[in-house]
Each structure stands twice: as C-alpha cells, then as structure tokens.
Amino acid sequence: MNFYDLNSSFHILVTGGAGFIGSNLCHALLANGNRVTCLDNFATGKRENIAPFTEHSKFTLIEGDIRNLSDCQKACDGVDYVLHQAALGSVPRSINDPVTSNDVNVSGFLNMLVAARDAKVKRFIYAASSSTYGDSTNMPKVEDIIGKPLSPYAITKYVNELYADVFSKTYQIETIGLRYFNVFGRKQDPNGAYAAVIPKFVMQLMKHESPVINGDGSFSRDFTYIDNVIQMNVRAMVSNNQNAINTVYNTAYGERTDLNELTELLKEYLGEYDPKIKNVKNIYGPTRAGDVPHSLASVDKAKELLNYDPQFDIKTGLKEAVNWYWEHLK
C-alpha cells in the first residue's frame, strides 16, 4: 500500500479500531511508523482484528466505550489526530433498535468531539455515511445536496455532520467528515444478522448456498474498496489546504454496480477457486425497509481539495477481497 507521504511522527487515535475499517486503518498507520491508540468496546469489533498489533511498541489498546466521556478523554490524551470510526452501523439494526443506535452514534459522537476539543487535537476526521443522502434522487450524489433520511441510522450520521459543523465554528476544532459508500474488503465480517452484502454473499457462495438478493437485483451501490478509504482518511488527516477542512466528502470510487452484476462477479472470481460456485442460483426476496434504490458518488470534491486518487475499482477490489476471504475463511 502507498501511504501518501504520511508523516510517521504522529500519535493517532482510531476509535472503533478493532472493527473492519478501524483495524485496517490501524494497520496502515502502524506500518508507516505512527503511534496508534485504539479505543474499542468490542460490541462489534473483534479482538482477532487487532491481534497482530498487540505486541507492537507503538500500539495501545484502550478498552472503553464512547458513551462514557471519561473513556473518550483518556483515549484523546496526547493525541494529534482522531480517526473516529466507532459507531453502530446498519440500517436494519437502527430500525430494530433506534435507541441504542442513537446512544452510540449521537451521544458517543458528541463525547468524542468534546474530548478531542479539550485535548486540543489537531484534527477530527470522522466516518460519515452515504445514508445521509436519504430520499434525494440526484445522481451522482454531490455533497451539498441531500434529502430526508430514510432510517434512524441515517439520522444519526447526519446529526454527526451537524455537530461537527457547530464544533468547528464554535470551538475552532478542525473536522472532516467522510461519507463512506458501501465499503468492503479484508477483515469485513461475513457473519451476523447485519453482515454487509459482499462478505455475506462470499460466505454463502463458498458453501454453495444461494445468496438472497433483496428485490429484483436492480438496486445499485458505489462499492468502495477499503484501500480507497484508507487513502481518504490519510489525505483528510494531512491536508494543508485550509479550504479542505470543516466540511464533508464522499468516500467512494465513483461507479455503481447493481446487485445482479455484483453477484455474477463474485461467482466468477470465487469460481476460479471452486468451479461449482459459478452454477449457484440466486434467490430473490422482498425489498428491505429503509434501503435506497441507487447510490452513486461524485468524488470530484475530494479529488480537487484532498488530491484523492482512488486506485481500486469494483473489479480490482473484489478480486483482492475474494482472495483474502478464500485464504482466511476456508
């Protein structure tokens, strides 16, 4: 991986650092010589994701919860930058339990902002979400045009943006929000009720089980490989462009793939390991509540202000992900 001239003298806090995206960030930052603190309560994060780092001299694990301000303050002590990834993801989870999603994603986010402000961190970069676009029919999605949220999860992530904006104006803390679009890749959990579609389908296909596609398969997403997301976090962290801060960016590749196309690509790539997978039939189920039909990002703003240069399209990223899953899940 190319770490884009990342200075190796930083102390960086990654909240949710044992999660899928967080642990990949920890790995990239440590590999470039930075000091990394991980804050995680392991509600969704996994100890095995950070097991390779626990003996690293520059890695510190703080087992704590962003819903506790004191944990946030402890984690922010002496930190240069915060990469805030901790959240309860998943639209269906938020529909089933909006209270807990709000506690973690809104109250926890506010705690982290307060702790980062008081610790005088240089910049607070946080995971925003493409769900913020809600019922907007604009395509591609551009950062300054959003619709009404379609789920409790979407509301919480939009509130994050509002809080970050107020804190940047009121307390002069630098913030950058990254609206993630369907991130996938190594370490993404294929198990559980709220597993993302790619690892879930990979696991099913490897077992010769039919993947269940919500709707007719025409819904499309801007699937974004994890290394593009790492690049965005690093670029957001180190940018010296004052016009680039205190705003939000789409974090995506800038192309969309529908679920039928996605499934066929997975069968093709997995079929190189096991030819029987190519013949597995799809099952079509009902459309899922709160789902946005189509999602496609414009990444022009990120390219212009952060010099974002995504290296992995859906095919390149899927091949990498499939190789990782085959090696780790068989």
**63 with 40: CB under 8 angstroms?**
yes
Distance separating alpha carbons of residues 197 and 211, to the nearest angstrom: 9
Distance separating alpha carbons of residues 131 and 153, to the nearest angstrom: 8
153 labelled catalytic:
yes
Among 13, 20, 5, 43, smallest CA distance to 229 is for 20
**Residues whose CB is less than 8 angstroms from the CB of residue 193 and which lie 6 or more positions away in sequence, other chains included:** 92, 93
Return the CA Rg of the chain: 19
DSSP state of 210: P
Among 241, 125, 124, smallest CA distance to 171 is for 124
- Give the distance, in angstroms, between the CA of residue 296 and the centroid of all CA atoms in the same chain: 16
Phi/psi at 286 (5° precision): -70, 155
**Strand intervals (E) in the chain:** 11-15, 35-40, 59-63, 81-84, 123-129, 175-180, 183-184, 212-214, 220-221, 224-225, 247-251, 257-258, 283-285
Q: Which of 153, 163, 180, 249 is catalytic?
A: 153
Distance separating alpha carbons of residues 201 and 222, to the nearest angstrom: 17
Q: Which residues are catalytic?
A: 153
